[in-house]
Amino acid sequence: MQKPLLITGGGRGIGAATARLAASRGYAICINYRENVDAASHLAGEIRAAGGEALIVQADVGVERDVLRLFDTVDREMGPLAGLVNNAGILETQMRVEAMDAPRLQRVFATNVIGAFLCAREAVKRMSTRHGGAGGAIVNVSSGASRLGSPGEYVDYAASKGALDTMTIGLSREVAEEGIRVNAVRAGFIYTDIHASGGEPERVERVKVMVPMKRGGQASEVAAAIVWLLSDEASYTTGAFIDVTGGK
């Protein structure tokens, strides 16, 4: 029987690459998306054509009622959850902190921090042996920005990923005896369309010279680390971070 895996923001980029790889390793995939139903539907069709199982569910993870509906749908359609990838994340137009207003900060933190907390909460309720679950794994998709700060561009995004790192440490220790492993992957400069949201679609080409490996990363390279942390091969790994950043 395929193990149900929920990937938030799973229709594109790192989420989509993770969905493809995890499906090939025997997971039944719930692809959560906020707006782009076409991308999510195409990915689900691709997984099914390869013999896998895929479900798409629209939900804004920054909205609590949406998160509750998302997890209820997984319960009903796929059965007991085995894993969660907290991948949904947003950034906004590049700017200095002195130019940021409160609505921008609220949007970024609602998705990147509150959304991750809400999804982790619901996953723990289902997977924890304390609540009658069979255990499972949570992987938070963080960023090298949490260590570097993204000055002049995305200090708010970097700070939200710093919060996600701290949550990873605390939650991993909180549920370690309850059959749940919680880890994080910090992605570096990866070729995805998130950079267009910040107003610079070709950002990776500009900044790759700062990376010791002198190149940007592929979403599939981040996905490989995520899927390893989900797997039984990482059975003694919790509260850990894998930096997929080309050495930066």
- Any idea which architecture 3-244 has in CATH? 3-Layer(aba) Sandwich (3.40)
Residues 11-47 pLDDT 10s: 999 999 999 999 999 999 999 999 999 999 999 999 9
Give the pLDDT confidence score for residue 126 in this predicted structure: 98
Residues 104-158 pLDDT 10s: 999 999 999 999 999 999 999 999 999 999 999 999 999 999 999 999 999 999 9
Structure tokens at 100: 């940021």
Give the pLDDT confidence score for residue 201 in this predicted structure: 79
Residues 177-224 pLDDT 10s: 999 999 999 999 999 877 777 778 788 988 899 899 999 999 999 999
Distance CA 44, CA 67 (A): 20
Domain-wise residue ranges, the chain: 3-244
Chain Cα centroid distance, residue 151: 23
Distance CA 5, CA 16 (A): 13
Give the pLDDT confidence score for residue 207 in this predicted structure: 87
Selected catalytic residue, list 33, 154, 157, 191: 157
**Catalytic site includes residue 157:** yes
Give the pLDDT confidence score for residue 227 in this predicted structure: 98
Residues 90-103, mean pLDDT to the nearest whole number: 97
